[in-house]
Amino acid sequence: MIQESTVEPELAFTGRNETFMKTCVYPGSFDPVTNGHMDIIKRSAKMFDKVIVAVVKNYSKKPLFSFSERMELIQKSVKDIPNVEVESFEGLLMDYVHKKNAQVIVKGLRAISDFEYEFQMALMNRKLDPNVETIFLMTNHKYSFLSSSMVKEVASLGGCISGLVPDCIIRDIYRKLKQKD
């Protein structure tokens, strides 16, 4: 027989003796946001009171979309999900997580190739603050091959990106690539 837990769910989850909203931060470059990202955002929105999609400002690769354009494209794509906010951050992710009073960092995992880097990152973040958990959501198999760079490559060669990114941003992507040429 399964014994009923005597631990308050709130305490079991946070390990802290206080009640507060469960907030997660989903960080990334989102250059641009794809349906793979959207899948992670929607699933997180079901698990957390608030999801903060945090667009990294100091992105090492040269992005196609400016930082404000990347934010706008996500904002357009999540406008119907009430508990999702789009923000930006610079510097150490853990400092930002503290500033937002978040308890969890969400990451998506596509393949084993994502794992090693993400694992190192998660352990480093745990060292910085063991009270903040990193959780990994396995990609939906439909999007396991999907990355922002793949979308840019296909679109720049004139391929169809329908189904790969939210419909409402398809035009923006082609327009941006045209401007670049």
Which residues within the stretch 10-39 sit at the binding site for ligand ADP (CB under 6 A)? 28-30, 34, 36-37
- Nearest CA among 123, 96, 108, 114 for reference residue 23: 96
Residue 155 near ligand ADP by CB under 6 A: no
Nearer to ligand ADP by C-beta: 16 or 142? 142
Instruction: List for the chain the helix, strand, coil content (%; round to 5).
Output: 45, 20, 40
Residue 139 near ligand ADP by CB under 6 A: yes
Residue 110 near ligand ADP by CB under 6 A: yes
Shortest distance (Å) from residue 5 CB to ligand ADP? 31
Annotated catalytic sites, by residue? 37, 61, 110, 148
DSSP structure string for 46-75 = HHSSEEEEEEESS-SS--SS-HHHHHHHHH
> What's the start-to-end Cα distance of the chain, in Å?
66
Binding interface with ligand ADP (CB under 6 A)? 28-30, 34, 36-37, 40, 107-108, 110, 114, 139, 143, 146-148
